[in-house]
Structure 1
Amino acid sequence: MHINPYGEDPVRFAVELAVDPPSSAADLVARCRAAGVTDVTGREVDLDDVRRFLDEWLGVVDAPDEAARADRLNALLAAASAYPRLTNHAGDGWHLHYRDPDLPLAGVLRALISVGTALHLAGRGMHRLGRCAVAECRRPFADVSRTGRQRYCSPACANRDAVRRHRARVS
């Protein structure tokens, strides 16, 4: 059985790549493999295309409201995804892909992250992407919390802000 590779994991991977962009094609390939993107062997790597896509994806994160977020994400989906197709490319079982076969790695990531983001937002709530509430941080995050009320990119930023608020009250 294959677990759906679209959704939370690609969204988390998009955040990781946006926060710490790959420094080289080899770095991108290694990080893709570590994230479970298994079909990267022999794919052409256009690092500039990946970086451009991540900038477009951050536009989804920074959308001012749900309608704008949906419009921006729909544009990414239109440019990235194809009709769903069954594949057994790795010989380990049939599963769905939302992209044409033989795409360069940037195209694979564009489809994986766009469809994953759409499923994440549709399934968990359109508000489940954001920027850290700490003004000097502003890193993007994907809210995968149970409550759907995440405001910080990490526990470190949440703790730092809590200490700041506490000190402001005490003084």
Structure 2
Amino acid sequence: MSLLNDPCATPAELADRCEEAGLDLAAAPTSSDLEAVGAFMAQWRRVVACSEHEPRAATLNALMLEYASAPWLTDHAGTGWHLHFREPDVDVPRQIAALISVGTALHLSGLGMDRLGICAAGECSKAYADISRNGRQRYCSTTCANREAVRRHRATRASATV
């Protein structure tokens, strides 16, 4: 979510974020890679913002068709066997796009098609992945949820005094 909610300003920042997330990039990101990742994130935001299951699935399927490949086992880094959903030696933007697309599909198919969205707080447009126990997350953070609760409480009190 951080690449969508807080886009990277430089290729070095993109490299740092990927390293922090445990993603071993095929190469050091370039300015054109950063631009391509930004373009992909704009496409992926359509998946996040879509609240209807069928269009969400169709949009995500199109992204996986474009960026992902058949899964294959690898131990390329010597850190243990794992699945890749991309061809070996793809460029940085394609590597990131494949990971996000397939990861999103696994998240939605495993937890439910409603487990992704845009914050319901009026002034916020950040995305969130709902990993809550009950599947009812509607805000990107506790801060936004609390702010909206205070706003609703004040509105209720104001209408009661009129």
TM-score of the two chains, using structure 2 as the length reference: 0.92
Q: Does 1:32 align with 2:18?
A: yes
Query: Could you list the runs of 5+ residues in structure 2 that have no partner in the other structure?
Result: none
How many Å apart are 1:25 and its aligned residue?
0.5
Runs of 4 or more consecutive aligned structure 1 residues displaced over 3 Å after TM superposition: none
Per the alignment, residue 63 of structure 1 pairs with: 50
Quote the Cα distance in structure 2 between the aligned partners of 1:127 and 1:61. 10
Cα shift at 1:170: 1.5
Distance 1:42 1:56 in 2: 23
Task: Give me the whole-angstrom Cα distance separating, in 2, the residues matched to 1:148 and 1:65.
Answer: 16
Partners of 2:48 and 2:118 within 8 A in 1: yes
Distance in 1 (alpha carbons) for counterparts of 2:29 and 2:121: 38
**CA offsets, 1:114-157, max 9 Å, x none?**
00000000000001111111111121111111110001110000
User: Is the partner of 2:77 in helix, strand or coil?
Assistant: coil
Report how far residue 64 of structure 1 moved. Answer: 4.2
Provide the C-alpha distance between the structure 1 equivalents of 2:87 and 2:110, rounded to a whole number of angstroms. 24
CA spacing shift, 1:44–1:24, aligned 2, 3 Å: closer
Identify the range of structure 1 (129-138 vs 28-37) with the bigger mean alpha-carbon deviation: 129-138
Identity, % of aligned pairs?
51
Task: Determine helix, strand or coil for the equivalent of 1:86.
Answer: strand
Q: Which has the higher contact order (CA 8 A, sep 6+)?
A: 1
Aligned partners of 2:116 and 2:129 also within 8 Å:
yes
2:68 equivalent to 1:78: no
Name the SS of the counterpart of 1:163 in structure 2. Answer: helix
Indicate the structure (1 or 2) with the bigger Cα radius of gyration: 2
Aligned pair partner of 1:90 in 70, 77, 86? 77
> Shift in Å at residue 49 of structure 1?
0.6
Instruction: Figure out how many residues of one structure are paired with residues of the other and give that number.
Output: 156
Question: Counterpart of 2:146 in 1: which secondary structure?
Answer: helix
Matches of 1:44 and 1:23, distance apart in 2: 12
Q: CA deviation at 1:20?
A: 0.4
Alignment partner of 2:145: what SS? helix
Rounded to whole Å, the distance in 2 between the matches of 1:119 and 1:69 is 13
Whether the 8 Å CA contact 1:43–1:103 is kept in 2: the answer is no
TM alignment of 1:122-133, pairs within 5 A: 122-133=109-120
Q: How does 1:1-171 map to 2 (within 5 A)?
A: 15-37=1-23, 39-40=24-25, 42-45=27-30, 46-171=33-158
Unaligned runs of 5+ in 1: 1-14
Paired amino acid for 1:87: T
What secondary structure is seen at the aligned counterpart in 1 of 2:117? strand
